[in-house]
């Protein structure tokens, strides 16, 4: 019977040197050259299962795992994901035991974006006028792509002008554009127009003392014509504190009991907030300051300024336009005298605050020109405080776009939206000539004249 041959020829009777046959049977050991290294273990065709695999196999032999349905396990092969509404369907994630894992939530940037857009649309719907004003300011309300014509800047005066400002395009001023159509749009803002001349020795006063006097005049002009609280009808305490005692008493009496002969508007710019409210804090101003000796070893300071005030209607503007003259029993919105030493203007009393208005509400402007002279006497000859102001002769003022025949300490501008009303107050109808309130080339009359009208405002 044939037999399978050995892989190698059988050795001789075990006589090899080195004792390759430890049994002494005379044959070679087949495992003599076997090495149990990592390569041998990895090449084994049968591998020992892990302990966890043996545990699960023993458990599932008696209790097989149940498929809950609708979920995929790690043992399922790659499946085709179905789509809903064009989006990829999410695969159910399970752990090795088949238990579902909670899906990881990803932050969606679209949700907060949609919320912000919704709030913006609602706010725009509730404030259509404000949106229209914003569009007109940033995009352009006329629908034209052309940029608005820049307004040239006008420097403060250094000498008396020879002509009136040039004509401008007639435009209806609004809250958003209060200076539209006004030649004062390029004028300096407020106190920027108060450029003081170089001081020098004059009379008994040194250059340093004259410089201090000029600064005192500038402070008074600011307090009397630019203070927002005074413009809103408040008491001009800061300006009163700069006047010499007799001057202060005379002006205080005019504030308490205004009359045709002594009206507070001769010194201060004030508006009744029930009728007119300043638009913002910007006041356009133009003019000049000069000084000279008074011929008696003192100093004369001359000021000539025009102030342009942008105003919007107050809560009672329409009613007062129909009957501008206040009745005899109507209390004036003035405050009681403040305690001594107070230096801040108080808000007007008896006034109900009015809500703000939209940017396209029509506004108007009142132009006030004041020519005022201040005298500083020689302190060695006159018992006056050299650090206080005294009015000299030749001071006067005039207002354009303010009702005539009303002497209550306030200016009363005319608004175009109430122009159909027929004023019936005393001396209310204009009978004088029509003048240009922006024309600074003409001298201001010191004598009271007829009630006239303005060619522009």
Average pLDDT for runs of 10 along the chain of length 457 = 53 51 58 74 74 82 70 54 54 66 68 84 71 57 47 89 89 92 93 96 95 97 96 95 95 93 93 94 95 94 97 87 51 37 36 60 94 94 90 92 90 84 47 84 76 84
Distance, in Å, from the CA atom of 255 to the CA atom of 192, rounded to the nearest integer, reads 28
Phi, psi of 79 (to 5 degrees): -110, 165
pLDDT of residue 168: 85
Sorted by sequence, the CB contacts under 8 Å of residue 170 that are 6+ apart come out as 181, 456
* Residue 240 burial (C-beta neighbours within 10 Å; 0-12, 13-18, 19+): buried
Say what the pLDDT of residue 76 is. Answer: 55
The answer to whether 85 and 60 are in contact (CB under 8 A) is: no
- In angstroms and rounded to an integer, the radius of gyration of the C-alpha atoms of the chain is 48
Q: What SS3 class is residue 165? A: coil
Encoding tokens for residue 420? 């159909």
| Pairing of β 276-278 and β 284-293 | unpaired
- CA 282/CA 365 separation, integer angstroms: 12
> Are 375 and 296 in contact, with CB atoms under 8 Å apart?
no
3-class secondary structure, 83: strand
Q: Evaluate whether 304 touches 287 at the Cβ level (below 8 Å).
A: yes
C-beta of residue 56 within 8 angstroms of C-beta of residue 62: no
What does the alpha-carbon distance between residue 159 and residue 220 come to, in Å, rounded to a whole number? Answer: 22
CB atoms within 10 A of CB 400: 22
Provide the pLDDT for residue 254: 94
> What per-residue confidence (pLDDT) applies to 313?
93
Question: What is the per-residue pLDDT for 80?
Answer: 53
């Amino acid at each position: 019977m044939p037999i399978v041959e050995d892989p190698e020829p059988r050795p001789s009777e075990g006589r090899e040197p080195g004792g390759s046959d430890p049994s002494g049977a005379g044959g070679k050991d087949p495992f003599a050259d076997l090495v149990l290294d990592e390569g041998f273990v990895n090449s084994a065709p049968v591998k020992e299962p892990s302990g966890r695999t043996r545990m699960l196999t023993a458990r599932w032999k008696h209790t097989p795992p149940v498929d809950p349905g609708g979920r995929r396990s790690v043992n399922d092969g790659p499946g085709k994901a179905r789509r809903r509404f064009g989006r990829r369907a999410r695969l159910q994630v399970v752990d090795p035991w088949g238990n579902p894992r909670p899906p990881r939530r990803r932050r969606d940037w679209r949700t907060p974006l949609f919320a912000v857009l919704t709030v913006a649309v609602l706010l725009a719907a509730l404030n259509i006028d404000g949106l229209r004003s914003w569009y007109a300011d940033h995009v352009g309300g006329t629908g034209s792509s052309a940029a608005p014509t820049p307004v040239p800047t006008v420097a403060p005066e250094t000498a008396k002008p020879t002509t009136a400002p040039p004509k401008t395009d007639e435009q209806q001023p609004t809250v958003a554009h209060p200076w539209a159509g006004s030649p004062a749009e390029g004028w300096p803002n407020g106190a920027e127009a108060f450029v003081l001349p170089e001081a020098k020795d004059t009379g008994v006063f040194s250059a340093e003392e004259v410089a201090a006097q000029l600064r005192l005049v500038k402070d008074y002009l600011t307090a009397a014509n630019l203070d927002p609280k005074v413009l809103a009808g408040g008491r001009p305490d800061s300006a009163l504190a700069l006047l010499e005692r007799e001057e202060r008493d005379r002006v205080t009496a005019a504030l308490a009991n205004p009359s045709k002969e002594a009206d507070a508007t001769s010194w201060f710019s004030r508006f009744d907030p029930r009728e007119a409210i300043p638009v913002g804090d910007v006041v356009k101003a133009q003019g000049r300051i000069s000084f000279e000796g008074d011929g008696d070893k003192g100093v004369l300071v001359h000021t000539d300024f025009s102030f342009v005030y942008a105003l919007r209607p107050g809560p009672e503007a329409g009613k007062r336009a129909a009957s501008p003259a206040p009745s005899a029993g109507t209390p004036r919105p003035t405050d009681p005298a403040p305690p001594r030493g107070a230096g801040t203007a108080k808000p007007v009393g008896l006034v109900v605050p009015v809500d703000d208005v939209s940017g396209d509400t029509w506004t108007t402007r009142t132009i006030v020109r004041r020519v005022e002279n201040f005298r500083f006497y020689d302190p060695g000859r006159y018992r006056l405080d050299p650090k206080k102001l005294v009015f000299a002769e030749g001071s006067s003022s005039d207002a354009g776009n303010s009702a005539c025949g009303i002497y209550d300490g306030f200016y009363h501008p005319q608004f175009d939206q109430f122009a159909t009303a027929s004023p019936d107050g005393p001396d209310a109808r204009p009978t004088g000539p029509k003048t240009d309130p922006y024309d600074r080339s003409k001298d201001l009359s010191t004598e009271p004249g007829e009630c006239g009208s303005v060619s522009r405002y």
